[in-house]
Amino acid sequence: MVVIMNSDASQEDIESVIRAIEEKGLEAKVMEGARQKIVGVIGDKTKLAATPLDAMHGVETTVAISKSYKLASREFHPAPTVIDVRGIKIGDGNPVVMAGPCAVESREQLMETAEIIKAGGAQFIRGGAYKPRTSPYAFQGLEEEGLKYLAEAREKTGLAVVTEVTVVEAVDTVAAYADLLQIGARNMQNFGLLKAVGRAGKPVMLKRGLAATIDEWLNAAEYIMNEGNPNVILCERGIRTYETYTRNTFDISAIAAIKHLSHLPIIADPSHGTGKWRMIKPMSLASIAAGADGLIIEVHPNPSRALSDGPQSLTPENYNDLMESVQKLSRFMKEAKIEPMVMG
């Protein structure tokens, strides 16, 4: 349930509603709407049956939420959430680009890539310091040494850092270097890790699981938000189906679905979604047209020598071509006033 306050409701009105909720043993969470505040009720709403919240001063109405996820739902927070990461706004209508290698391989490789993506217009550098791989014999990442290189790249270029955290024990270490914590597909339902990043004090990008439904994905986001962290960004990266031509089946329809079901921003990852560098540009443009708030793209100075995911990494030339096209499409959509989703 959510309690929608009048636009002129006072702080005292809001506190009275919170007290009434908490007196019934339930939890109240206040969210800022576009014009008014909303109080979310977490717990068994039947306990409020004898409490006339609608009649309380400053309350406009109450709305029941039928979904298993509450904090992540658009019913709870009708206005789109805009998340600020080092001054970079994600979800404000301007596509954000996160680019870089799958794995941090060396200082030289990362610094070269950082200069390339910065010049092309990206706002974030991505790169894995901890690499959970299918094979135990594959390159597993440079760990904290890689995090230090990412931090150095930020100092040199001004790019914000997004990188994956894979285990609870590494959360504090990664949070000390990264601006945005990434939860990878394999860990989407690692509930202990979700709770830990929810308490870490940093924004979190949550990738969709390998075979996760949208409902399961949003419930995973709920775990993070329920720890007091509202700054969650979703990332569609493809799901596993019977198709074998592409690495995964890139679900562009999930972008539109998330925009309808949730207020959280969503980033598209066509690199993992397809596994083929030739498909990244068309899938990126399709994602922006579908309403994605940004892209996360793998870029490598020399993909043929990459230690991880070379076949889905863009060369500097292909990256620059992609960025030019994304910027043109974004400008066109704004000038033509094209809104991908009808929210009414």
User: Could you give the CA distance from residue 53 to residue 26 in angstroms, rounded to a whole number?
Assistant: 14
Residue 68, in any domain of the structure = no
pLDDT of 50: 85
pLDDT of 343: 64
Q: Which residues contact 2 (CB under 8 A, 6 or more apart)?
A: 38, 39, 40, 41, 62, 63, 65, 75, 76
Shared domain check, 158 and 87 = yes
Shared domain check, 175 and 102 = yes
Shared domain check, 317 and 285 = yes
Domains held by the chain: number: 2
Q: Which residues contact 105 (CB under 8 A, 6 or more apart)?
A: 139, 142, 306, 307
pLDDT of 63: 84
User: Could you give the CA distance from residue 206 to residue 316 in angstroms, rounded to a whole number?
Assistant: 27
Shared domain check, 214 and 160 = yes
Shared domain check, 191 and 55 = no
- What CATH number corresponds to the domain at position 323? 3.20.20.70
Shared domain check, 255 and 178 = yes
Shared domain check, 320 and 213 = yes
Shared domain check, 299 and 178 = yes
pLDDT of 32: 73
Shared domain check, 313 and 166 = yes
Helices (H), the chain: 11-22, 107-120, 144-157, 171-177, 191-198, 214-225, 253-261, 270-274, 277-290, 316-335
pTM of the model: 0.89
Burial of 308 (0-12, 13-18, 19+ CB in 10 A): buried
- Tell me if 319 sits within 8 A of 297, measured CB to CB: yes
Mean pLDDT by 10 residues, the chain (344 residues): 90 94 91 77 84 92 85 89 97 97 96 98 96 74 93 98 97 98 97 98 97 98 94 98 97 97 97 98 98 98 94 98 98 94 67
Shared domain check, 165 and 279 = yes
Number of C-beta neighbours around residue 311 at 10 A: 15
Residue 77, in any domain of the structure = no
116: containing domain? 83-335
Shared domain check, 100 and 58 = no
